[in-house]
Amino acid sequence: MAESKAQSGGRYRAKSGKSGRPDYVLRLFVSGLLQNSARAIKNINQICEQHFKGNYSLEVIDINQQPELALHEQIIVIPVMLIKFPLPERRIIGDLSDSSKVLEILNYK
């Protein structure tokens, strides 16, 4: 099952594996105005499609359009990716250009 749609305030992309629940649930907070944010979106999309294809959920949230979500998650720097699952919840700050480090933090083997 694959789904791709636009939401007000951000882009949402979801994919799920055989169990119906993806093994990786990610939220990427960006500012649509910043070059680092654009790089982070590109980098995480490449990582997910290469390593987690069909088994991840990625929500991209533009804090300019949805500031209440940034406040709720206590976001103070961007870009930042929240790893909601697998637990424990973690954060990665930056443009996600070091894919080996991102995969290490995601516990990808």
Can you give the pLDDT at residue 18?
A: 53
Residue 11 has pLDDT above 50, yes or no: no
* Euclidean distance between CA atoms 109 and 92, whole angstroms: 18
List domains and CATH numbers for the chain: 2-105 (3.40.30.10)
Average pLDDT, rounded, for the chain: 84
**Residue 25 clears pLDDT 50, i.e. is over it:** yes
Predicted confidence at residue 29, as pLDDT, reads 97
Q: What is the pLDDT of residue 3?
A: 32
Instruction: List the Cα angle 22/60/76 in 5-degree steps.
Output: 115
Residue 54 in this model has a pLDDT that exceeds 60: yes
Residue 88: the pLDDT is: 92
